[in-house]
Amino acid sequence: MTAERTIRTPRDLVEAGLIGREREEAISRVTASYAVAISPAISRLVDRDDPDDPIARQFVPDMAELAVMPEERADPIGDSTHSPVTGIVHRYPDRVLLKAVHVCPVYCRFCFRREMVGPEGLGTLTPAELDRAIAYISGHQEIWEVILTGGDPLVLSPRRLGEIMERLAKIEHVKVVRFHTRVPVVEPDRVDAPLIAALKGSGKATYVALHANHPRELTVAARAAAARLIDAGIVMVSQSVLLKGVNDDPDILAELMRAFVETRVKPYYLHHPDLAPGTSHFRLSIEEGQALVASLRGRVSGLCQPAYILDIPGGHGKSVVSASSIEAEGGGCYTVTDFRGNRHAYPPKG
């Protein structure tokens, strides 16, 4: 196989040894509905001898994706209910999403925007659409932060990103620019000096939220790419999805959060998987998620603790869903549970 090309078709998957030849035709039913892309860096990470490989599970299409559950929906987090102009999602007063591009360097099988991203998706904003999106941001004084997401904004060329940043630079009320990306993990070589200069081009406080779900994704090359961003003055935070068969294990989750912290990427969000079509094989229950997140508290440093988040279907935004460790007993008294599961009165009695 040619190692340095992104895998995009059932035939490519066979040639890369990611599916057996006998599955090529069946898998083409999945790829007819949902885009496939597996970058060379990710293909190299897959353990082809492990039928349950957690990297393969995230990126190699599976027949289970054809099972769409009644509770699943095309727009699981309700982006469309808060989109005043194409490319903008304005759900919270002080921040907007700017979706400049709808392609990604890899396609995650559990993607919450899987009906919108892909080479056949909405593509890149046209110049006129981008003008309207920028005009919207500049016309709304309350917008303090612009979050570039998508799609993966880091697939844009440094020149195009730089142009967008120059336009944001001129908007006085925008103080923070954040990018959500998988690029440092899936295409680490793309993080070069021109790209970093473009990301910083707004002159605002610049944050990069890195999406990774398994500690093996934080390779030497990925850690080096993150270090280049951080050493250039960009603050990095993490974003992961809690996924059955990938990271639904206390040891793996702890190792993932430690890998982020070792890389100077502060754990930010651990998302409960969204109700995207054909993703039920990735979902665990909220109770299972709460127990896993609670297990981190006693096991690893406070730096390694992400917030466990559910995006409420219908566009109602994010909510922290970690299990509460405190119960009200009335009269200003509480019972609080420590990391070992022992219960204590607060304030202490006697």
| CB of residue 72 to ligand PLP, shortest distance in Å | 18
Q: For residues 229, 235, 236 and 237, what is the CA-based torsion angle, rounded to 10 degrees?
A: -170
Q: Is 104 annotated as a binding residue?
A: yes
Q: Which H/E stretch holds residue 197? A: helix 193-199
Nearer to ligand PLP, 73 or 228 (CB): 73
CA distance 264 to 293: 21
Question: Which of the listed partners (ligand SF4, ligand PLP, none) does 78 bind, with a CB threshold of 5 to 8 Å by partner kind?
Answer: none
From 91, 178, 182, 223, active-site residue: 91
Question: Which of the listed partners (ligand SF4, ligand PLP, none) does 89 bind, with a CB threshold of 5 to 8 Å by partner kind?
Answer: ligand PLP
108 assigned to active site? yes
From 104, 152, 167, 182, active-site residue: 104
Site for ligand PLP in 108-147 (CB under 6 A): 147
| CB of residue 8 to ligand SF4, shortest distance in Å | 13
Beta carbons within 8 Å of 319's beta carbon, 6+ residues apart = 309, 310, 311, 312
CA distance 115 to 108: 12
Q: Is 304 annotated as a binding residue?
A: no
333 assigned to active site? no
User: What x/- string results for residues 39 through 78 when contact with ligand SF4 is judged by CB under 6 A?
Assistant: ----------------------------------------
89 binds ligand PLP (CB under 6 A): yes
Encoded tokens for 4: 């340095």
User: What x/- string results for residues 299 through 318 when contact with ligand PLP is judged by CB under 6 A?
Assistant: -------------------x
Nearer to ligand SF4, 117 or 143 (CB): 117
Cα 199 to Cα 98, 145, 177, 206, 235: the distances in Å are 14, 14, 9, 7, 12
CA distance 181 to 149: 7
User: What x/- string results for residues 92 through 111 when contact with ligand SF4 is judged by CB under 6 A?
Assistant: ------------x--xx--x
CA distance 244 to 286: 12
Amino acid at 167: R
For 34-73, give the DSSP string: S---B-HHHHHH--TT-TT-HHHHHHS--GGGG---TT--
Q: Which H/E stretch holds residue 345? A: strand 343-346
92 binds ligand PLP (CB under 6 A): yes
Instruction: Supply the DSSP symbol for 18.
Output: S
**182-213: string of b/e by CB count within 10 Å (b at 16+)?**
bbbbbbbebbeeebbebbbbbebebbbbbbbb
Among 8, 73, 95, 228, binds ligand PLP (CB under 6 A): 95
Taking contact as CB under 6 A, which single stretch among the options 67-75, 149-157, 222-230, 291-299 is the one that binds ligand SF4? 149-157
Our measurement of the distance from residue 79's CA atom to the centroid of its chain's CA atoms, rounded to an integer in Å, reads: 15
104 assigned to active site? yes
Question: Which of the listed partners (ligand PLP, ligand SF4, none) does 108 bind, with a CB threshold of 5 to 8 Å by partner kind?
Answer: ligand SF4
Angle at 59 between CA 54 and CA 65, to 5 degrees: 100
| CB of residue 309 to ligand SF4, shortest distance in Å | 14
Question: Which of the listed partners (ligand PLP, ligand SF4, none) does 97 bind, with a CB threshold of 5 to 8 Å by partner kind?
Answer: ligand PLP
Annotated binding site for [4Fe-4S] cluster: 104, 108, 111
Q: Which residues are designated catalytic?
A: 91-92, 95, 104, 108, 111, 113, 274, 311, 318
Which positions lie near ligand SF4, rule CB under 6 A?
A: 104, 107-108, 111, 113, 117, 150-152, 182, 211
